[in-house]
Chains A and B, each alone.
Chain A
């Protein structure tokens, strides 16, 4: 019998099968493979489940889990409470071990769940159509830029400096490859919002798209209305949004956004060292044929019963090959379905409550911090659940090292990505920060500063 629990073959079966094939040995099945590799792999020996589980458990304990700390760090990945039902539902084998729904008749579970997901994203963003996910927030922004250029044929993309630094890096990588010009838009040193004067003077007939955050990387809520007012009809208005914030902030679609993208991790997905989460991607119906990624649509079967299928596949790589809207094939369907489960459990009330609690705690913290000598909030613009603060007296890294000793994951240090801000940090709160954690943090801050 095979020594490996994942492989069912017995010796007898192997012999019978070789005989049916008409070869003497397994080796005969590999005769066309050149013998350029005659040594054994330098890898560990096979192991039993018990030992591998123990080894990994030991490794996991070398990490400090967010559950063991009070969390004041967001900066793109957010620590929200995840209802227990999600893990149990999403780990069902019928979701976990299914493939892309190539045979819709036996994939209605996947298809309907993603159709519901698309509906929820369309509701949140205020746009007509959403796809069934991208890899992450960064690739969603990059693909949005490519889509804009594909749509209006212009070649210059303006991206706000307050878009997540990693998203800007990825967008640069993608756009550079297609010789698309990227230009960064500065922010106002007073409000932390995009510098509207500068935007106005940068706009011209070559501009394909303007990309802004909502809220931006600093947590500041941009005035989408004022920005949209500056853009001509042809310019694609791309908004990078936090999905939780969209339950209280006016939908970008209402302000005339053409594409809304973002990172979906806050919707019920664990932080998992930054992956996998998923990217969401929504647009106007008139642009749908330019949109990358899989889209699920409703239809009828031969008996007139409602069902779901993948639609508009002629945009996709498996049909159009080199002429596809994108090379994306596998997306992050499982994470998108987790988000649908999360939004179903929380509903419109719950999502709003999560947003308001995150918001309320951040504003309380902001207010208290303003009173502490040695800390100074940087911007006056309205913010959601994150805000930057300049430190005097102590360095950001020293502060965080001190906080970590008290099992506090302190604010994100900004100097590396925003050297002009000097010794500054970005605080974040979610509903998963307890009021007592806030007081504990404030006590430590007063001690340290």
Chain B
């Protein structure tokens, strides 16, 4: 039942100071026609109604706190509660963006230090904390590419190369920045095809967007060669940081030759995901691109921390104020607790978990690519269709009955019936073993009684939902029945 249906006229769930109004009809000086004729239909509820309603809703949600959440490319690691505690400290939570800077020096110190730490982790020279999410970081990066070539007088560079294994946000971001997107096919090993790349690389190419390791969980081992070819052509190399969790403390995008990097703080630095946001997508750049960053960045001089707006070639602003400060605090706390060795250890355990799971699971369902993976890997579910007549989707739905969140399915698009699995470093060996066991059981069910999978799930708050109808005749708000 929705909160609207639970509404009872006359109830309230708030209280305000009992102060007299200064004017008994305070709205009298607003022209009549600008005043609302009909109240908005908001629910009327007591505090206990609201607490029970949202508590009930929360119990219909799966989350990392509930169990294993191996969504590939999403890095659903455990979210330490210290992060929440620091972000809700009185002196951080209630700050106005236009407070005098001398009254927010502590907040600015956190941002300044975070800029430095992220620069060190990625091997870049400067960072902006402004972008609100990974895709927003991509857009920021692409705008920097654009401005850089505008200033250089190379407006003919209107193309951006994106591999077919890339996240959907990559082509969308490049397009939003006004570029033409050129997709290149991966080779049979799942990596960027050097010949393909060389073929499309000419002086009309502004940038190449790469995720490394890529969305198949494979490290682009030719990266130094790619970066050499790109730079020789005057093309910039953009790093999609969605998969940074695999290589933290081992290799840095900057050292691999990337010119621009975005990070997903909510993924790699566990800030957490909040049902799909807020995220945070800081962007780092090499020295030659620093002056193109959005304004302001946090800087330090003898008087203390200040907002530096003096970047004459800046692309402008990409969101209001300074970014998702509350999220930045969480990432800062996370990095401080793990420290330099901990970050490296985290990526090692993420890669260990992924390979362990890959080896065990690929005995049941073929992996899309053999050999060592990084933090994630892809299974090729086409055998399910061939042998049992069930789809990856059916297996995913059946997993819900076993209390496990399914992997990412049908992505990357280049693998049929794909299942993309990222266990992250915060899962124990026992949990991974249990997951393998569950997959084994479901495969037995698929063999013995495939209908069990096709009709799954059975035990969830609702069962398989009609998504086609939902989009064909969309109902996007609640309405009182007449």
Contacts and interface: CB of A to CB of B under 8 A. Distances in A.
- A, B co-complexed: yes
B94 A66 contact: yes
17 contacts: A9-B429, A65-B91, A76-B320, A96-B274, A98-B64, A246-B40, A275-B327, A299-B466, A301-B462, A307-B465, A312-B474, A317-B172, A321-B168, A326-B176, A330-B135, A330-B276, A345-B14
B272 A97 contact: yes
Given A250-B34, A317-B172, A108 B61 contact: yes
A13 B61 CA distance: 31
Interface in A8-62: 8-9, 13-14, 16-18, 20-23, 26, 28-37, 40-49, 52-53, 55-62
A97 B64 contact: yes
B460 interface: yes
Interface residues of A, number: 208
A99 B76 contact: yes
Contacts of B406: 103
A112 B84 CA distance: 24
B278 A329 contact: no
A47 B339 contact: yes
B329 interface: yes
B133 A63 contact: no
Contacts of A297: 470-471, 474-476
B316 A55 contact: no
The listed residue with most A CB atoms (<10 A of its CB), out of B249, B256, B278, B397, is B278
Closest 3 CB pairs of A and B: A274-B321, A62-B106, A334-B274
Interface stretch (A161-169, A197-205, A231-239): A161-169
A106 B457 CA distance: 10
A2 B345 contact: yes
Given A62-B109, A115-B476, A324-B172, 10 more contacts: A5-B80, A23-B372, A34-B251, A85-B13, A89-B58, A305-B462, A306-B462, A348-B39, A351-B40, A360-B26
Contact of A8 (B31, B221, B426): B426
A177 B178 contact: yes
A137 interface: yes
Interface in B434-467: 455, 457, 460-467
Nearest to A426: B98
B157 interface: no
A138 B316 CA distance: 13
B386 interface: no
A260 interface: no
Nearest to A137: B320
Contact of A139 (B2, B4, B223, B319): B319
A335 B326 CA distance: 11
A347 B341 contact: no
Contacts, number: 678
Contact of A104 (B109, B315, B327, B465): B465
Interface in B31-82: 31, 33-37, 39-45, 47, 50-51, 53-55, 57-66, 69, 71, 74, 76-80, 82
Contacts of B315: 173
A326 B172 contact: yes
Contact of A98 (B63, B86, B176, B278): B63
A85 B84 contact: no
A64 interface: yes
B276 A97 contact: no
B271 to A, nearest CB: 10
A99 B71 contact: yes
A33 B252 CA distance: 10
B132 A177 contact: no
A406 to B, nearest CB: 13
A32 B341 CA distance: 21
Interface string A218-253: 000101110000000000000000000011111100
Given A83-B13, A250-B33, A9 B169 contact: no
Interface stretch (A118-126, A152-160, A371-379, A440-448): A118-126
Contact of A314 (B134, B249, B317, B471): B471
A90 to B, nearest CB: 8
Interface string B329-353: 1001101111111111110110111
Interface string B15-43: 01101111100110111011111011111
The listed residue with most B CB atoms (<10 A of its CB), out of A31, A246, A308, is A308
Nearest to B396: A103
A345 to B, nearest CB: 4
Given A98-B63, A137-B320, A224 B136 contact: no
Given A317-B169, A332-B278, A173 B44 contact: no
A116 B3 contact: yes
B429 A17 contact: yes
A77 B256 CA distance: 41
Interface in A61-100: 61-67, 71, 73, 75-77, 79, 81, 83, 85, 87-89, 91-100
A340 to B, nearest CB: 8
B202 interface: no
Contacts of B325: 272-276
A107 B62 contact: yes
Given A138-B320, A297-B471, A348 B13 contact: no
B150 to A, nearest CB: 10
B287 interface: no
A412 B120 CA distance: 37
Interface in A174-188: 174, 176-179
A120 B138 CA distance: 31
Contacts of A394: none
A101 interface: yes
A386 interface: no
Contacts of B57: 108-109, 112-113
Contacts of A128: 476-477
